[in-house]
Amino acid sequence: MANEEAVLKILRLTDKVVTQKSIADEIGYSVGKVNYILKALTLKGLIKVENFANSTQKKNYKYLLTKEGIEEKIKLTEKFIARKKCEYEELQRELEKMKGRQ
């Protein structure tokens, strides 16, 4: 996926009744970007969308992870953690070099 971190952020917010605006506000993206990603995730079968016809708030939806969505969330989380571990290790090496120069 093009922007795995954005997808992971949105997948982590699933299983809540939300608006696209509330998702956008929480993760710091535009509503348009959130809409685009949600549509793509729906087309890929990673989430399904339920609206609440009996709700007074017609903008509220519940985004549910499918089995494939759960698997994708796990895969992206593992990649995210591995990337952050590499960044941490690189920073540790830089810190050790800086300490050695003192």
Task: Say what the pTM is.
Answer: 0.76
Q: 19: which DSSP letter?
A: -
Is residue 55 scored above 70 in pLDDT?
Answer: no
Q: Which residue reads 């997948």 in tokens?
A: 11
Q: Can you list the domains of the chain with their CATH numbers?
A: 4-101 (1.10.10.10)
Local structure of residue 14 (DSSP, 8 states): -
16-42 average pLDDT score: 89
Q: What percent of the chain has pLDDT over 70?
A: 89
Closest CA to 49 of 37, 38, 33, 36: 38
Q: What's the pLDDT score for residue 54?
A: 55
pLDDT in tens, 62-88: 888 999 999 999 999 999 999 999 999
Mean pLDDT for the stretch of residues 14-24: 81
